[in-house]
A and B are shown apart, each in its own frame.
Chain A
Amino acid sequence: DAGVIQSPRHEVTEMGQEVTLRCKPISGHNSLFWYRQTMMRGLELLIYFNNNVPIDDSGMPEDRFSAKMPNASFSTLKIQPSEPRDSAVYFCASSFRGANNNEQFFGPGTRLTVL
């Protein structure tokens, strides 16, 4: 089992550019989560999907952020246009909704730096 796969692992971009983060959940998992981690705000959920459908996107900061899950094995988080305050580590996590403990398996994260 490869675990949750995220790409890229590191991204450095200039303010105003579009950034796309990618996630491949664990095969068979039906829930997918996008988190952002910063020193100031800690870990915060941006959005999550059940069976490819967005369930709770109340954590998405503003319209510059969008997330899609076109199928069960792929999701993207897009920031357009990016700003320096978006610099953070972005985690994708997946879980199986019927699992007894609902453990979320985290990917390695994407460290985003916006200059």
Chain B
Amino acid sequence: AQKITQTQPGMFVQEKEAVTLDCTYDTSDQSYGLFWYKQPSSGEMIFLIYQGSYDEQNATEGRYSLNFQKARKSANLVISASQLGDSAMYFCAMRALLYTDRGSTLGRLYFGRGTQLTVWP
């Protein structure tokens, strides 16, 4: 079974500081993808960053970077220079292969329970 663990229900950071949101995953698959989504209070799900299991470089997207440690099965999100607008719920997710009688295909996204980030001035 696929499992995503986010151990921090809530995090607080001061504006302009960096913050790391933790995510560990459990899979026996060799090929998978890791995602981070942001959900502000308005409710929409916003894609932030993606890391493929075979990517050797850590993914970066603007102020977001993914600290991928494959041996530890961790995919922490680092937000640099936090802004007030970063206050939201952050979800880590993993997509692995689905094996069927016709071979393998991309499977579902498994989500963690989320981390509520609050940025204060």
Q: Does B98 contact A (CB under 8 A)?
A: yes
> Is the CB–CB distance between B98 and A105 below 8 Å?
no
B residues near A50, Cβ cutoff 8 Å? 105
0/1 interface trace, chain A 45-73, chain B, CB 8 Å (1 if under): 10010100001100100000000000000
Question: With the chains together, A57 CA to B38 CA distance in Å?
Answer: 25
B residues near A42, Cβ cutoff 8 Å? 111-114
Q: Which of A91-115 contact B (CB under 8 A)?
A: 91, 93, 97, 101-106, 108-109, 111
Question: With the chains together, A61 CA to B50 CA distance in Å?
Answer: 29
> Is the CB–CB distance between A102 and B95 below 8 Å?
yes
Q: Which of B64-106 contact A (CB under 8 A)?
A: 91, 95, 98, 100, 105-106
Tally of A-B residue pairs with Cβ under 8 A?
Answer: 50
Known: A101-B50, A103-B50. A108 touches B109 (CB 8 A): no
> Is the CB–CB distance between B91 and A55 below 8 Å?
no
B residues near A108, Cβ cutoff 8 Å? 43-44
> Is the CB–CB distance between A102 and B33 below 8 Å?
yes
The A interface is mostly helix, strand or loop, or mixed, namely strand
Q: Which residue of B lies closest to A95 (CB)?
A: B106
B residues near A103, Cβ cutoff 8 Å? 35, 47, 50
CB-contact partner of A102 in B106, B113, B114, under 8 A: B106
A residues near B3, Cβ cutoff 8 Å? none
B residues near A79, Cβ cutoff 8 Å? none
Q: Which residue of B lies closest to A31 (CB)?
A: B106
Closest 6 CB pairs of A and B: A106-B45, A101-B50, A43-B111, A45-B108, A42-B113, A103-B47
* A-to-B contact residues, CB < 8 Å: 31, 33, 42-45, 48, 50, 55-56, 59, 89, 91, 93, 97, 101-106, 108-109, 111
Instruction: Write 8 A-B pairs (CB below 8 A) sorted by A numbering.
Output: A42-B114, A45-B108, A55-B98, A59-B108, A102-B95, A103-B47, A104-B35, A106-B37
* B-to-A contact residues, CB < 8 Å: 33, 35, 37, 43-47, 50, 52, 91, 95, 98, 100, 105-114
